Structure 1
Amino acid sequence: MTDESPDDSEPAEEAELGSEIADHSTELSSILGDAYRGELDRETTWRSRLDQTTTWGVTVVAAILTFAFSSTDNPHYIVLVGILAVSLFLLIEARRYRDYDVYRSRVRLFQQNLLADALDPSAGVEHEDWRSKLSRDYRTPTLKVSMVEATANRLQRIYLPLLAVLLVAWLFRITAFAPNESPLTTATIAGVPGTLVVTVIALYYATAVMIVLWPRDREAKGEFREGDPHDWKESG
């Protein structure tokens, strides 16, 4: 008879417990239901964090525009400060969107393969190996959306219109408020020539538009959007 230490028996007992749960449909259904509610709560939490960032972005834009046009003595570059602030909010929201998509992906796996199949078994499941996918994601959680895709998503949905408003406001500020001067002269900031300022702004907006329009395979899951891929790429 071989001696078995308590530490050696624990992994075997835990593995046996998981196997027993998988073999009993009632217990498994209960656990999956609890897991679904937990993932749905996490998704809702991260969704609210996205909304908070958007709210701050809109608030900052409104405050900066109010200040910039409240007096002709206020410098035009305050609008450029607003562009920098909105860009910062964009990066924060893109990072949060990547975390949000992790939980959204899990929720959609439950909805497509468990709930939908329970309501209409004749249609079958969307992913034959959905339990394996979910198991791998629980074992090794991974971000499924690249930073570029997340940034493009938030630009298209929220931030490109905000940046466009700021751009129009800045152009109006350096032209209509100084009709007797060249816009390139008005755009000057301290010792920085107006030509350089305009060039940097033009490159920035061209890059933002390119990020949105650049063709790529979408990896985000669960968006209500025309042309949503039938399946999502597995990360890693």
Structure 2
Amino acid sequence: MTSSDDDFDPEAREGREVAGEAATDRSDFLSLIGHVYRGEVGRANAWRTRLDRTTNWAVVLTATLLTWAFSAETRPHYVILVGMAMVALFLVFEARRYRIYDVWRSRVRLLEENVFANALDPEGAEQRGWRKLLSRDLRTPTVKTPLAEAVARRSRRIYFPLFIVLLLAWVIHLAVFDATDMGLLQRASIGRLPGTVVAGAVSLFYATITGITFWPRERHAKGELQSDEQAQDDWKA
């Protein structure tokens, strides 16, 4: 061990603030930022994998349930309604994971916008105080995407089409496999629960999920690929 190592005191002010020297040294700072960027990309990729895993389970569940529901005429129609509830549960899980994933992705985008993009085309940083923003977020990480927006984004990308498939499958099952002299609403009954109540609950659920999915709201999440029109509105500093 060298004498300099013997003299190093992590409790002393110089020891505690050793990383602060990189703030004034250009080469040290850029080297440190490279390591930070790789670390944040790794975290974002890990949470992206968890998002994909939830999506895969939702798709597999939907395909398996529909295969079973249409495999015989004796299969009850309410199994498809159970599938709707399960897919909604997966949507809630994925929205929560998406909010955490966006914490790491937002840092990656902050570095890409203000460091790497500026190195390739030095027209100026997108945000003048990006270093302070990143420092504050590293000290006190915060979730930046509201739950409603997270649910809407994941529903619009993945889950709303699954809900539409399940709804069509439920209606077709009632019309084909439960073909009796009763009307379609009467066939939707579950035990002593009238079909009108079941159909009303399904209609309310789909009205709610449609409103959450397509209701216009201010965008907080950043970093996803989007159209040129959206980019002009959402990427202004």
Q: Do the structures match in fold with TM over 0.5?
A: yes
Task: Deviation per CA, 1:186-232: give whole Å up to 9, x if none.
Answer: 11111111100000000000001101121210000111112131247
Letter in 2 for 1:172: I
Equivalent residue letter for 1:51: D
Q: Which amino acid aligns with 1:38?
A: G
Q: Distance in 2 between matches of 1:76 and 1:49?
A: 32
Equivalent residue, structure 2, for 1:70: 71
Q: 2:116 is matched by which residue type in structure 1?
A: L
Query: After the TM superposition, which segments of 4 or more aligned residues of structure 1 sit over 6 Å from their partners?
Result: none
Q: CA deviation at 1:103?
A: 0.6
Partner residue of 1:177? 177
SS at 2:11 equivalent: helix
For residue 108 of structure 1, what is the aligned residue in structure 2?
A: 109
* 1:92 is the counterpart of 2:122: no
Give me the whole-angstrom Cα distance separating, in 1, the residues matched to 2:76 and 2:207.
25
Give the match for residue 133 of structure 2.
133
Letter in 2 for 1:113: N
Equivalents in 2 of 1:16, 1:142: separation in Å?
24
| Cα distance in 2 between the residues matched to 1:231 and 1:222 | 13
TM-score (norm 1): 0.91
Q: Where in structure 2 are there 5+ consecutive unaligned residues?
A: 1-9
Normalised TM-score (structure 2): 0.91
Gaps of 5+ in 1: 1-8
Identity among equivalent positions (%) equals 48
The answer on 1:143 being equivalent to 2:148 is: no
> Residues 156-180 of structure 1: CA distance to partner in whole angstroms, max 9, x if unpaired?
0000000100000001111122333
Alpha-carbon distance in structure 2 between the residues aligned to 1:40 and 1:198? 46
Instruction: Give yes or no for the alignment of 1:117 onto 2:118.
Output: yes
Q: Is 1:166 matched with 2:161?
A: no
Secondary structure of the corresponding residue to residue 10 of structure 1 = coil
* Distance in 1, Cα, partners of 2:99 & 2:179: 45
- Between the aligned partners of 2:99 and 2:203, the Cα distance in structure 1 is 28
Report the AA paired with residue 138 of structure 1: L
Shift of 1:185: 1.3
Letter in 2 for 1:230: W
